[in-house]
Amino acid sequence: MSDLQDQVAVVVGSSSGMGRATAIGLADRGAKVVLAARRRDKLEELASEIGTNTLVCVVDVEDTEQVEALIRSTLDAFGRIDILVYATGTNIPERSLQDLSYETWNMMINTNLTGAFYCTKAVLPVMRQQQAGLIIYLSSGCVQSPDMSGVSYQATKCGMSGLAHGTFKEEQENGVRTTVIFPGLCDTPLVFKRPTPTPPDVMAKALQPQDVADACLFVATLPERARVPELVLLPAGL
């Protein structure tokens, strides 16, 4: 399929999990894909798998200069940015309020939320000039149904929802659309950071990264007149 032919998509957090699956899906639909994350080896491996029309950009989302360099490199290579997917996210085993330190709280905020803000801030001038653009934020089902994923994780994922909706309200007149996706339990490397292992029978019913990628592709392939503010994606068997 080529319904995203000639569009340029930046996928932040594309080295694994949902971001990786989304990058592959966007490329399969004809998009030129910028693969952004911290692990060069994983990005280059993915670029080789996808083939042509990819750009590897090593970026630490907590560094504004690196984020701005990501946007500049994309423009130098492809001339525009139609889609930004923020799929970067982390969690920690010591996630209870009792165990959470000031340092780990700040790390969680910086990676999961501040990084999303930096990427949004950097890409908006491009989308304003184009009078078109789509930003997809991968949040978490814990926003809809609070769980034991930890207060710092839940705070960042709730904050991402506010970032998405606030950005749209301010930028809709410039043709910028936003979507925030709330996936439930998904079989990604993040699951292995849980303090207590998830039982195999539960994991057997979890979402797969491809399910989240398909949700992103659904949103990305809609006409510009249409917008999905929020999309909740949950395992049917849990």
Lowest mean pLDDT across 62-66, 168-172, 194-198, 218-222: 194-198
Which pTM does this prediction carry? Answer: 0.95
153 is catalytic: yes
The mean predicted confidence, pLDDT, of the chain is 94
The CATH number of 8-233, from 1.10.287.1770, 3.40.50.300, 3.20.20.150, 3.40.50.720, is 3.40.50.720
Q: Which of 235, 219, 214 is nearest to 22 (CA)?
A: 214
Contact 4, 31 (CB under 8 A): yes
**Cα separation, 232 vs 238, whole angstroms:** 14
Band (95; pLDDT cuts 50, 70, 90): confident
Share of the chain above pLDDT 90, in %: 82
Q: Where are the domains of the chain?
A: 8-233
pLDDT in tens, 132-142: 999 999 999 88
Listed in sequence order, the residues at least 6 apart from 65 whose beta carbon sits closer than 8 Å to its beta carbon are none
pLDDT category at 17 given cuts 50, 70, 90 is very high
From 86, 118, 137, 153, active-site residue: 153
